[in-house]
Copies of this chain bind each other. A is one copy, B any other.
């Protein structure tokens, strides 16, 4: 199965595309820019969703559902929002088809034009804040802590599976608060939820930071983000959390009676992660053999492969495998026994490597005789023989899965550190971007003009101003003007 998977070192981009397809994660559909998420890929996304949903609920949020369509005029209500989002959108203009008078197929019924066109939501602030207007009257209605799992559409000219597609799946949280302080705290709380999810579940180390003015969400006062480093030295924004100030409350006239008897606009936040996380997960850990999945997000954590020639051998192995499966399931470990006789063991080994199953157990007639099992780790491709008489296999497997989770994180963490470099001159800056890639920590004068010039000259953007930035006087890498601290640059997805 993994035969012919391109090498990362030769063509990283091709490697990614082929891996996504061959590991049955996703594929392009006949509709430009829209992907099909295949069952195996979707089962990973479901594991992500389940964990994020649990974290959202634990922090007091409820799910709800808002309309797919947004009246065109809504987009214009928040001045900067319309600049950012009323561009590449799918626009619904008609509500009926009719038979083509020529007798072939169907055509759009010209008599069924909508009075006002509808936009397929690129994000839901406008439709949600227009609803909040009716839900919020008093401080007693606050905070309002809502999340929605939904599909959104942003028309993209160049698309890549998971990373940039015209339609994608995401969650969008939209909250309303009494005070600026509470909304700011919520913004940071959800940024931390995302970082915790990325690090503990995706095994992806991330930098928490704040976006520059030019990169912030259209309609936000401030955009916070988590940024991860991919194996090709490009950064990937894995989640954003926006402090909206009173912008949408003012645009949609959402006021509340305060505790003191006044009437004020509420304070808002919004925050989201999307199927883009699938791209990050794949690119951060996988290798030339295929996917490498952290056990906490692997739909199949352990696969058992029988090695047999004759049917009696398979039957004996099946009994042993059944015992192991039951003991693993008791520990909450998901396990699959692949007893297909249509494929050879070697083929199966390659297939489960391609699909990133963290642990593989091989059992042959010899193993039955010797009371052993061969255990192979996907993360470091090492094998070991387990003596069932001496070792408690389920406990060993549980521990090994935890080790794998940790090892994948440790490796990615070391890589991220290794790919983070300080630059103090423009020459260094260019040299790092060209020859080493990764994050470049450098001084910037804080102006949009310089940011734009750097982007034009190097394709590197300011990924973020890290939250743990140490104040440091310095000179801008390009303009030489004074700077108050380093920011993180990188070429990015």
The A contact surface, by secondary structure, is mixed
Q: Is A414 an interface residue (CB 8 A)?
A: no
* CB-CB nearest in chain B for A97: B86
Q: Pick the interface stretch among A87-95, A370-378, A441-449.
A: A87-95
Tell me the complex Cα distance, A121–B66, Å. 17
| A87-B96 CB under 8 A given contacts A63-B42, A69-B31 | yes
Q: A228 CB to closest chain B CB, in angstroms?
A: 23
A111-125 to B contact mask, C-beta < 8 Å, 1/0: 000000111100000
Q: Which of B29, B66, B82 contacts A36 (CB 8 A)?
A: B66
Q: A90 CB to closest chain B CB, in angstroms?
A: 5
Tell me the complex Cα distance, A88–B98, Å. 9
Tell me the complex Cα distance, A64–B151, Å. 13
Q: How many residues of A contact B (CB 8 A)?
A: 63
A139-164 to B contact mask, C-beta < 8 Å, 1/0: 01000001000110101000000000
A153 touches B91 (CB 8 A): no
Q: Which of B42, B72, B146 contacts A65 (CB 8 A)?
A: B42
Q: Is A298 an interface residue (CB 8 A)?
A: no
Q: Is A380 an interface residue (CB 8 A)?
A: no
Contacts of A151 in B (CB 8 A): 68, 150-151
B39 touches A62 (CB 8 A): yes
Q: A16 CB to closest chain B CB, in angstroms?
A: 20
Q: Is A470 an interface residue (CB 8 A)?
A: no
Q: A274 CB to closest chain B CB, in angstroms?
A: 12
Tell me the complex Cα distance, A91–B31, Å. 14
Q: Which of B34, B67, B76, B88 contacts A105 (CB 8 A)?
A: B76
Contacts of A34 in B (CB 8 A): 67-69
Q: Is A30 an interface residue (CB 8 A)?
A: yes
Q: Is A167 an interface residue (CB 8 A)?
A: yes
How many copies of the shown chain assemble into the complex?
A: 2
Q: A54 CB to closest chain B CB, in angstroms?
A: 12
Q: A477 CB to closest chain B CB, in angstroms?
A: 35
Q: Is A108 an interface residue (CB 8 A)?
A: yes
Q: A157 CB to closest chain B CB, in angstroms?
A: 10
Q: Is A43 an interface residue (CB 8 A)?
A: yes
Q: Is A73 an interface residue (CB 8 A)?
A: yes
Q: Is A46 an interface residue (CB 8 A)?
A: yes
Q: A50 CB to closest chain B CB, in angstroms?
A: 10
A35-49 to B contact mask, C-beta < 8 Å, 1/0: 111110011001000
Q: Is A478 an interface residue (CB 8 A)?
A: no
| A167-B64 CB under 8 A given contacts A90-B118, A91-B92, A96-B88 | no
Q: Is A458 an interface residue (CB 8 A)?
A: no
A67 touches B35 (CB 8 A): yes
Q: Is A70 an interface residue (CB 8 A)?
A: yes
- Which residues of chain A from 6 to 43 have a CB within 8 Å of any chain B CB? 27, 29-31, 34-39, 42-43
Contacts of A108 in B (CB 8 A): 72, 91, 93, 117
Contacts of A117 in B (CB 8 A): 108
B93 touches A91 (CB 8 A): yes
Can you add 14 more A-B contacts, CB < 8 Å, to A30-B131, A86-B97, A90-B94? Answer: A29-B67, A30-B74, A30-B130, A31-B118, A36-B65, A65-B169, A67-B167, A68-B120, A68-B167, A75-B106, A87-B97, A92-B92, A92-B120, A93-B108
Name the 9 nearest CB pairs between A and B, nearest first.
Answer: A34-B67, A39-B62, A76-B105, A37-B65, A91-B94, A95-B155, A86-B106, A93-B93, A86-B97
Residues of A near any B CB (own CB < 8 A): 27, 29-31, 34-39, 42-43, 46, 62-76, 82, 86-98, 104-106, 108, 117-120, 127, 130-131, 134, 140, 146, 150-151, 153, 155, 167, 169, 342
Report 22 cross-chain contacts, Cβ distance below 8 Å, ordered by A residue.
A30-B127, A31-B67, A31-B71, A34-B68, A37-B65, A39-B62, A46-B63, A68-B151, A68-B167, A69-B167, A72-B106, A76-B105, A86-B97, A86-B106, A87-B96, A91-B92, A91-B96, A93-B93, A95-B155, A120-B120, A140-B342, A150-B151
